[in-house]
Amino acid sequence: MQFNIENIRKDFPILSRKVNGKPLVYLDNAATSQTPQQVIDCIVEYYSSYNANIHRGVHTLSQEATDKYEQARKKIQQFFNAKSSREIILTSGTTHSINLVANGFTSLLKKGDEIIVSSLEHHSNIVPWQMLCERTGAVLKVIPMNLEGELIEFEFNNLLSEKTKLVFVNHVSNALGTINHIEHIIKKAHQVGAAVLIDGAQAAPHLTVDVQALDVDFYVASAHKMCGPTGIGMLYGKEAWLNLLPPYQGGGEMISEVTFEKTTYADLPFKFEAGTPNICGGIAFGAAIDYLNLIGLENIASYEHELLTHATKKLLEIDGLKIYGTSKNKTSVISFNLEGIHPYDVGTILDKLGIAVRTGHHCAQPVMDFFQIPGTVRASFAFYNTKEEIDTLIEGVKKAKLMLS
């Protein structure tokens, strides 16, 4: 598909609305991307035409819904290049996926085992592992970062030992946009026999992810950052690991046979999918992947890099503005502050101008503590944004500075 920004923007009805009397400039894509009409139509079609429970019914609607749901799982498998659709567990999102794995490792760790996270993590890739350590007596270690917002790789190498059982790192920092060198992390972790989980929530919308080429053990992502609906996501796990982990929840669908004496569990992937799932969400996740494939991830990455370059140059021309996260290898996220001005105040003024950004610690409080700041203003760009919208942001930041200084 030829990349045509005008045609692409027409696919997103929300981009035509006004906020506070101004045209919406949506620059909060790292929190949630917007949804194209093609995915919205998919959701409407489900509830209008074949709304039914799946895997259980012999009637036509159930069979149609089941087929669509499992086709979506196959699309997700192909998007991430998993070996089998059995390795794709549909969850409520990245946080659910991480907690599923953390719960499963409760029975596999013992006191004194070590697990490693990075200092760049979202809270959802910190707290579940802290809870796992509390349950098992395992020890949590942290890969430090430098002032550019990059992980210090030789420090990671020094943390690894025969005691290391698990390593957890995000592919892309949600707070700074840094793309981590996960290939190195995975390879080094495997050399000491540790399993690796990569939080791909911020990477999947922007980068081509091949879980087989990465040789990663677990990879997680959320549909709502990939032009899909909220409340649905995925966990990729190598089949051997998923067979080893116990079920996360008990209930319908995840069973093979149930008696009052003993229950046996279903095969993958259903072993981890108890209860009625988010059927419509799963199907719409597949539609969102179709849409991303239509645009082309290479086209997306190239265009978003243009936006990042343009925004970085323009923002740095503003006196007193500091950007946090200056790695050369990053996605289209810019976190910044104006000297002497609280980020919340900047975000409030930008909202009055119709500009949606995120302010605060972005669920990455250790990152903010490292820089000794309360938070940042975060502008995050998607392939449907324009340089003109970035110029509007620049003028808004200048106005905020003038009003608040």
Rounded to the nearest 10°, the torsion over CA 57, 59, 61, 67 is 60
Q: How many CA atoms lie within 13 A of 83 on its CB side?
A: 11
Please state the φ and ψ torsions of residue 378, each to the nearest 5 degrees: -120, 120
Q: What residues are paired with 345 via a beta bridge?
A: none
ω before 269 within 30° of 0 (cis)? yes
Are the beta carbons of 336 and 321 closer than 8 angstroms?
A: yes
Give the DSSP H or E segment for 334.
Answer: strand 333-338
What CA–CA distances, in Å, run from 246 to 92, 102, 137, 243, 271? Answer: 18, 11, 19, 8, 8
CA distance 159 to 140: 11
Beta strands in 92-184 (DSSP E): 114-118, 139-143, 164-170
Q: Which distant-in-sequence residues (6+ apart) come within 8 Å of 7 by Cβ?
A: none
Look at the alpha carbons of 372, 377, 383, 386 in this order and tell me if their dihedral is positive or negative.
negative
CA distance 38 to 267: 33
Catalytic entry in 42, 133, 227, 363? 363
Are the beta carbons of 33 and 356 closer than 8 angstroms?
A: no
Are the beta carbons of 115 and 129 closer than 8 angstroms?
A: yes
Our answer to whether residue 133 is catalytic in this structure is no
Please state the φ and ψ torsions of residue 324, each to the nearest 5 degrees: -105, 125
Q: Indicate the burial class of 189 (C-beta count within 10 angstroms; 0-12, 13-18, 19 or more).
A: buried
Active site residues: 363
